[in-house]
Amino acid sequence: MNKLRWALLGLGGALSIAAGFIFPGEETHGWWSAIPGFFALFGFFGCLLIIVFSKFLGKILLYKREDYYDGK
């Protein structure tokens, strides 16, 4: 099941990027709008950055030592 989910995720990403080439936008408002698939990749890497940053914050602020709740 896990391989199937990764395959579907990859297929969805590839289709999203391919759609940028097949159906280009009508009007560009900046250099980024002219790049096919830019917003799909921007969203993917933005979410990846949020995940990595939140794991970093979790290690700093939330994780405690193994013996944190032992009697002192």
Cα–Cα distance measured from residue 11 to residue 29, given in angstroms and rounded to the nearest whole number: 28
33 band by pLDDT with thresholds 50, 70 and 90: confident
Question: Do 37 and 17 contact (CB within 8 A), yes or no?
Answer: yes
pTM score: 0.59
Output the pLDDT for position 30.
83
Q: Residues with Cβ < 8 Å from 47, sequence gap 6 or more?
A: none
- Angle in degrees, CA 31, 33, 39, rounded to 5: 125
pLDDT at 1 over 90: no
d(CA 72, CA 63): 19
The mean pLDDT of 23-33, rounded to a whole number, is: 76
pLDDT confidence band for 29 (50 / 70 / 90) = confident
